[in-house]
Amino acid sequence: MKILVCISHVPDTTSKINFTDNDSKFDSNGVQYVINPYDEFALTRAMWFKEKQGATVTVVNVGNVSTEPTLRKALAIGADDAIRVNAEPTDGFAVAKELAEVVKNGGFNLVLAGKESSDYNGGMVPGMLAALLDFSFVNACIGLEIEGEKATISREIDGGKEILSSNLPLIIAGQKGLVEEKDLRIPNMRGIMMARKKPLTVVEPINSEAATSIISFEKQAAKAACKMVDADNVDELIRLLHNEAKVI
């Protein structure tokens, strides 16, 4: 099994979100970057397939040189090698086309990604990649088992779950459940040392055309102050929800 894990390089979840250049660019000043939380579930599941079923695990990112520490972190967690496609990831469709080249050239038969990246929240790359390659695709994946060429996949649906089966090749977009939170790994010293020596290949993009472009950003409007209600007067809360907020 040749696994490719797609790694998105995103601001830490605690980051304050600000914009510069007349609100046209994200302000990365002072921002800590991490592996996209959803991708961590995918990477951890990939490590399980490596350790228990002898799979090889390659991680990939479409991005400029600043994303390399994030790829090194994935190597420190245990991936065998890394690929960086040297392009600005401005549009999901273009990223998917770049990744499709990587999958074809590398002969991967299982691609694990996160269901969305926590910065632009597009939720489009894995599904587009599958459609471009004509691989089976499961979104919101909360369980994956592979036996030979056969995969059993669970996906979360509104109010429950669905079990699906498919042959490889397969692409899944994962989330918590694919592995548990407690199974996520933090790189240890030995992993970090080894990661320095693992191959990180930079490939040039095919320069696929973007289908969308972001013109500007806007922050959430400031909120009015919270109205406090006395704990001994919950009637007042009900009155406010009924008469003022009109939600009950």
Partner 1 sequence: MSVLVFAETSEGKFKKSAFEVTSYGKKVAEQLGTNVVVLTINSNEPTLLYMYGAEKVLNVSNDALRTFNAKVYANIIKQAAEKENSKLVIIDSNANAIYLAPTLAVNLSAGYASNVVALPTSTSPFTLKRKTFSNKAFNYTELTTDCKVISLAKNSFGLVENKVDGNVEEFSPQLIESGLTSTSVEQTTGKVTIADADVVVSGGRGLKGPENWGMIEELADVFGAATACSKPVSDLGWRPHSEHVGQTGKPVASNLYVAVGISGAIQHLAGVNSSKVKVVINTDPEAPFFKAADYGIIGDAFEVVPKLIEKLKEFKANNA
Ligand X SMILES: Cc1cc2nc3c(=O)[nH]c(=O)nc-3n(C[C@H](O)[C@H](O)[C@H](O)COP(=O)(O)OP(=O)(O)OC[C@H]3O[C@@H](n4cnc5c(N)ncnc54)[C@H](O)[C@@H]3O)c2cc1C
Query: Taking CB under 6 A as the criterion, which residues in 31-60 touch ligand X?
Result: 37
Q: Which stretch binds partner 1 (CB under 8 A): 43-51, 57-65, 81-89, 208-216?
A: 208-216
Beta-bridged to residue 25, according to DSSP, are: 20
Distance separating alpha carbons of residues 48 and 208, to the nearest angstrom = 33
* Distance of alpha carbon 203 from the chain centroid: 21
- In the bound complex, what is the minimum distance in angstroms from residue 94's beta carbon to partner 1? 10
Nearest to 129 by CA among 106, 156, 161: 106
Nearest to 122 by CA among 154, 93, 85: 93
Q: Which residue is nearest to ligand X (CB)?
A: 13
# chain residues binding partner 1, by CB under 8 A? 81
Position 124 contacts partner 1 (CB under 8 A): yes
Beta-bridged to residue 195, according to DSSP, are: none
Position 106 contacts partner 1 (CB under 8 A): no
Among 65, 186, 189, 247, the residue binding partner 1 under the rule CB under 8 A is 247
Position 13 contacts ligand X (CB under 6 A): yes
Tell me, residue by residue from 140 to 159, as one string, x for binding to partner 1 by CB under 8 A and - for no binding.
x-x---------x--xxxxx
Q: 127, 139 in Cβ contact below 8 A?
A: yes
Q: Is 188 exposed, middle or buried (0-12, 13-18, 19+ CB in 10 A)?
A: exposed
Residue 220 interacts with, from ligand X, partner 1, none (CB under 5-8 Å by kind): partner 1
- In the bound complex, what is the minimum distance in angstroms from residue 232's beta carbon to ligand X? 15
Distance separating alpha carbons of residues 156 and 31, to the nearest angstrom = 32
Q: Is 233 exposed, middle or buried (0-12, 13-18, 19+ CB in 10 A)?
A: exposed
Q: Residue 215 or residue 231: which is nearer to ligand X going by CB?
A: 231
- In the bound complex, what is the minimum distance in angstroms from residue 140's beta carbon to partner 1? 6
Position 28 contacts partner 1 (CB under 8 A): no
Using CB under 6 A as the criterion, which residues of the chain lie in contact with ligand X when the complex forms? 13, 37
